[in-house]
Structure 1
Amino acid sequence: MSIPAQRVPIEPQSVDAPLTGSAVFLVLTVSDTADAYAAAKSTLGSVSDIQKNVAFRDLGASLSCTVGIGSRVWDAVTSHPRPAELHDFRPVVGAKHTASATPGDILLHIRSDRRDLCFELERQLLDSFGSAVSVADETIGFRYFDIRDLLGFVDGTANPVGQALPDATLVGEEDERVAGGTYVVVQKYVHPLSAWHALTTEQQEAIMGRTKADNVELDDATDGQKSHKTLATIVDDDGEHDILRDNMPFGTPGSGEFGTYFIGYARHLWVIEKMLERMFIGDPPGAHDRLLDFSTALTGSVFFAPSAELLDSLADG
């Protein structure tokens, strides 16, 4: 009697890489030529090898690089079936605030406990891409105290853990052709810290939905103005839909820039899109997330991070 062959699990990229002390969020655009697409495809397929060469200098520094590919260039640089939900970032226009769309064809999310390793991996990757790409945005993130944002609150508390993490982030049998991949949304927010610091701690906590000192959840509002925590929680008949956040602070006090780089990984893109709709338009409409009065979104892009196997296969042409 023959024994059915067991399916080999698909290896994802390092979506669940450990929290690190440093990160680079690099968004690139690819020149619209056949040669540029070919060069981009070759480099994308070589990312894991380049990463290994840099990581070998300190194997304990948790160096990783997660690669996302945008809708505009997916067909040109992968030759693989398109993920079912992949499309360009859709602006969300509220009565007071807007989540704008900005260009982005390739995302490199580089993480390590050493800033120099992040620097070196970024340098080598850009050298490999050469003139095929242009830098649309480069943001250097850092860990701030006990994983807090520059507003003073712990960030990423609601991240899934254990088996809930891959269940929330990795595409499965619903789109089997790209199983093991994940949707990625990035936004760069800047904060007017002087205005935020003018609020009392109690006012800040009401906006966030958590206590500032010990990160305890406050009760959800049943009607009227809802907190950021409540608006960013998506619940339907199937239960609560989680995403993985690996946000990081960035800024330079000398130039007066202070911000948070939002990066969300999700099994279903619509979950993050619903989250942004609730924040910018409000629930009910008109009652937008008060956090947006102190957080301006400068960028907005959508990517799909394919499985490690699919990404490596691009090197084979």
Structure 2
Amino acid sequence: MSGKNWDRVPIDAQSVDAPLSLSAVFLVVTVASEQSALAKVGSVLGGLDDLVKTVGFRDLSGRLSCIAGIGCDLWDRLCPDRRPLELKPFAPIKGAVHSAPSTAGDLLFHIRSERPDMCFEFERILLDSLGGTVTVVDEVSGFRYFDARDLLGFVDGTANPTGLDLPASALVGDEDADFAGGSYVVVQKYLHDLNAWARTPTPLQEEIIGRTKIDNIEIDDDDAPRKSHKSLATIEDADGNEYDILRDNMPFGQPGRQEFGTYFIGYSRYLWVIEKMLQRMYIGDPPGAYDRLLDFSTPHTGTTFFAPTRPMLQTLVQGAQEKPASTAP
């Protein structure tokens, strides 16, 4: 999608536009039901920028950053009177062959740096600060794999928007003015069957992905009977306007446990764009012609968040700290 109706990058947005890093941690937690837990979480969120500065100052070239995303249920606890227009829990998808589960998550912390030790240190201090108020439900450490490839051997994120197209695609605009500058975030943890993938001939792999493997050239499959992953993940409206999302996927794995995966994280101005993309992948277009990549990659999580601007985050924090403690016995 072009930069139409978007002529600036909000200076108060979280670091959605940070460049692809060498290392990342994707941390998803749930928050305890007590009001005291809500206040504690609010305090930690309020000090998030200061914590980034404290850890990141040790090596500024490490480019440490952290984005906080808030799930629908927690958002309603923090701010019951108003919510981003499209924010809702991740809707599970059941296709004829493959399904996408919906899993728990109140908070997402997307931690990025050029140094894995800085991601580690930031996460350690963050969790120490949150203490028993949260429960970790998913924790993935990602890494850049050669020239930004996934573990399947293909370059990932080639179609990401750049320049003014980036905020136009990833950040909410005037259509929801109260939350302009924020971003919808969807995460899924995929595990790959690399043995089955390795047995698949390279030409078929390229047909499934929609790009050549060595030089990352896009393959035109408009007239093909079965669309590629690339084509199914391309979203257009009724007028033919294309809508992009910003992906910051990272490979992860533990060879000793035969665990090989890709952590999908998509930032979008409109949640419906990612939802439609996933519907096309799992249901198929036409129905039944699902994304053949799913024959080798299985999602184990699926959660939706909203990453508000820094001022909005501070407003939510203040609300959490001002709420009276529960008097229930």
TM-score for both structures, normalised by structure 1: 0.95
Give the Cα–Cα distance (whole angstroms) in 2 for the partners of residues 224 and 47 of structure 1. Answer: 49
Give the Cα–Cα distance (whole angstroms) in 2 for the partners of residues 80 and 60 of structure 1. Answer: 41
Partner of residue 3, structure 1: none
Q: CA deviation at 1:79?
A: 6.0
The count of aligned residue pairs is 311
Gaps of 5+ in 2: 1-7, 322-329
Q: Are 1:224 and 1:284, in contact at CA under 8 Å, matched by a contact in 2?
A: no
Q: CA deviation at 1:224?
A: 2.4
Give the Cα–Cα distance (whole angstroms) in 2 for the partners of residues 187 and 307 of structure 1. Answer: 23
Partner of residue 3, structure 2: none
Q: Which deviates more, 159-168 or 71-80?
A: 71-80
Question: Is 1:285 the counterpart of 2:287 in the alignment?
Answer: yes
Partner of residue 251, structure 1: 253
| 1:105-126 alpha-carbon deviations (Å, 9 max, x no partner) | 0000000011110011101111
Give the Cα–Cα distance (whole angstroms) in 2 for the partners of residues 72 and 217 of structure 1. Answer: 40
Which amino acid in structure 2 is aligned with residue 151 of structure 1?
A: L
Q: Are 2:25 and 2:139, in contact at CA under 8 Å, matched by a contact in 1?
A: yes
Q: CA deviation at 1:315?
A: 4.5
Q: Kindly report structure 1 stretches of 4+ aligned residues shifted beyond 4 Å.
A: 7-10
Give the Cα–Cα distance (whole angstroms) in 2 for the partners of residues 78 and 259 of structure 1. Answer: 35
Could you say what the CA RMSD is over the residues aligned between the two structures, in angstroms? 1.5
Which amino acid in structure 2 is aligned with residue 85 of structure 1?
A: E
Question: Is 1:298 the counterpart of 2:300 in the alignment?
Answer: yes
Give the Cα–Cα distance (whole angstroms) in 2 for the partners of residues 198 and 306 of structure 1. Answer: 44
Give the Cα–Cα distance (whole angstroms) in 2 for the partners of residues 15 and 149 of structure 1. Answer: 21
Which amino acid in structure 2 is aligned with residue 58 of structure 1?
A: D
Partner of residue 17, structure 1: 18
Give the Cα–Cα distance (whole angstroms) in 1 for the partners of residues 85 and 252 of structure 2. Answer: 33
Partner of residue 211, structure 1: 212
Q: Are 1:18 and 1:62, in contact at CA under 8 Å, matched by a contact in 2?
A: no
Q: CA deviation at 1:80?
A: 6.8
Give the Cα–Cα distance (whole angstroms) in 2 for the partners of residues 288 and 79 of structure 1. Answer: 38
Q: CA deviation at 1:313?
A: 3.7
Partner of residue 62, structure 1: 63
Which amino acid in structure 2 is aligned with residue 288 of structure 1?
A: Y
SS at match of 1:60: helix
CA change 1:54–1:195 in 2 (3 A) is: same
Q: CA deviation at 1:128?
A: 1.2
Partner of residue 35, structure 1: 36
Which amino acid in structure 1 is aligned with residue 214 of structure 2?
A: A
| 1:55-105 alpha-carbon deviations (Å, 9 max, x no partner) | 110011110001100001102235672100000000011000001000000
Gaps of 5+ in 1: 1-6
Give the Cα–Cα distance (whole angstroms) in 2 for the partners of residues 111 and 247 of structure 1. Answer: 12
Q: Are 1:72 and 1:105, in contact at CA under 8 Å, matched by a contact in 2?
A: yes
Partner of residue 156, structure 1: 157
| 1:191-242 alpha-carbon deviations (Å, 9 max, x no partner) | 0100000011101000000000000000123352100000000012150000
Q: CA deviation at 1:35?
A: 1.2
CA change 1:313–1:60 in 2 (3 A) is: farther
| 1:14-63 alpha-carbon deviations (Å, 9 max, x no partner) | 00111111000000001111111111111111111111110110011110
Which amino acid in structure 2 is aligned with residue 149 of structure 1?
A: D
Give the Cα–Cα distance (whole angstroms) in 2 for the partners of residues 64 and 240 of structure 1. Answer: 30
SS at match of 1:158: coil
Give the Cα–Cα distance (whole angstroms) in 2 for the partners of residues 80 and 208 of structure 1. Answer: 43
